Amino acid sequence: MPDVIARLRLDAESKAPISKAAVAHGDLRHAQGYTVAMVVEESRLLQVSIFTMLDNNTMHLEFGNLLAHVVTIADEVDAQLKEQILRFMAEDNADKKDSLTVHIK
């Protein structure tokens, strides 16, 4: 979540950095035995939670900026999901190589 907040504070022209937290999260979920589908579902639930919270607090929101912020939030969550999946797949490939090396020996 800190990466989402940092992304909201960036200028519109600025490129968001790759989330180190997303990379670490992908490693963690891989180590915990998650599947790709489970990681995607977790990301979907995060977005639902964020947007439900926004909906529940509409009285406190500045509507002039809301749509732009919602787009930024969704984009950041999706970018983090991408980094998690890339890291997850890299870990999977490393596991397969290790397994293959063991079988060849």
Q: Give the tens place of pLDDT for each residue, 44-103.
A: 999 999 999 999 998 888 888 888 889 888 988 999 999 999 988 888 788 777 766 655
In this predicted structure, what is the pLDDT of residue 6?
80
Least confident of 7-16, 24-33, 35-44: 7-16
- The whole-model pTM stands at 0.74
Q: How many helices and strands in the chain, by DSSP H and E? A: 4, 0
Q: Which domain holds residue 37?
A: 2-104
Q: List alpha helices for 10-62, DSSP H.
A: 20-31, 36-56
Encoded tokens for 72:
């930024």
How many domains does one find in the chain?
1
In this predicted structure, what is the pLDDT of residue 100?
62
In this predicted structure, what is the pLDDT of residue 47?
93
